[in-house]
């Protein structure tokens, strides 16, 4: 699994002109899933996201977590995070999991993040043409790959 975490002042997802999820301060998370991902990867990544301390404290240091600032999460499925770009100019997506494998893990991630944060996780719609609007705060953008956790 790969996640791109952006610290945002606000973020929203719109599908066909309808807002499917929106948050004020918190994380906008793009989540990519590949066939080799496991429940262990999901649990590890969810804990990393929920406990990430990238909000400024009173000294301007990144020491505060989502819980500390009462922040929220907008979670967006993003198969393009596994784009293969080594050959040619058109990316390939063979490493990205197919929907029958990815959707259940995406849904488990929503539940796991909700359990860890005690909050409703705002979302996009898996596989939809989504329009994401956000104000990156900082900017602060963190990438995490579960295959690089060791």
62 pLDDT above the threshold of 80 = yes
C-alpha to C-alpha distance for 127 and 12, rounded to whole angstroms: 16
Segment 110-115 shows an average pLDDT of: 98
Q: Which structure tokens are listed for 64?
A: 């505060």
pLDDT value at residue 50: 98
Res. 94 pLDDT band, cuts 50 70 90: confident
C-alpha to C-alpha distance for 80 and 61, rounded to whole angstroms: 32
Marked catalytic residue, from 14, 20, 43, 80:
80
β-pairing verdict for 130-145 and 2-15: antiparallel
150 pLDDT above the threshold of 80 = no
pLDDT value at residue 6: 98
Identify whether the C-beta of residue 1 lies closer than 8 Å to the C-beta of residue 145. Answer: yes
Q: Which domains does the chain have, with CATH numbers?
A: 2-148 (3.50.80.10)
122 pLDDT above the threshold of 90 = yes
- Listed in sequence order, the residues at least 6 apart from 74 whose beta carbon sits closer than 8 Å to its beta carbon are 8, 11, 12, 13, 21, 22, 23, 26, 27, 28, 29, 121, 122, 123, 124, 134
pLDDT value at residue 149: 78
C-alpha to C-alpha distance for 61 and 101, rounded to whole angstroms: 39
Identify whether the C-beta of residue 69 lies closer than 8 Å to the C-beta of residue 23. Answer: no
C-alpha to C-alpha distance for 37 and 146, rounded to whole angstroms: 8
pTM: 0.94
Mean per-residue pLDDT of the chain: 95
Res. 107 pLDDT band, cuts 50 70 90: very high
71 pLDDT above the threshold of 80 = yes
Segment 75-103 shows an average pLDDT of: 91
C-alpha to C-alpha distance for 52 and 29, rounded to whole angstroms: 12
92 pLDDT above the threshold of 90 = no
Known catalytic residue at 80? yes
């Amino acid at each position: 699994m790969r996640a791109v975490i952006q610290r945002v002042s606000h973020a929203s997802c719109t599908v066909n002109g309808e807002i499917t999820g929106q948050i004020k301060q918190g994380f906008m998370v793009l989540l990519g899933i590949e066939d080799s991902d496991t429940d262990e990867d999901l649990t590890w990544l969810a804990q990393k996201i929920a406990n990430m301390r990238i909000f400024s404290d009173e000294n301007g240091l990144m020491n505060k977590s989502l819980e500390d600032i009462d922040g929220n999460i907008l979670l967006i499925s993003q198969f393009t995070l596994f784009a293969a770009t080594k050959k040619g100019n058109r990316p390939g997506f063979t490493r990205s999991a197919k929907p029958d494998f990815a959707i259940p893990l995406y849904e488990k991630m929503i539940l796991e993040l909700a359990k860890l944060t005690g909050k409703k996780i705002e979302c996009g719609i898996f596989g939809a043409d989504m329009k994401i609007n956000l104000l990156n705060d900082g900017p602060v953008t963190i990438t995490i790959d579960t295959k690089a956790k060791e």
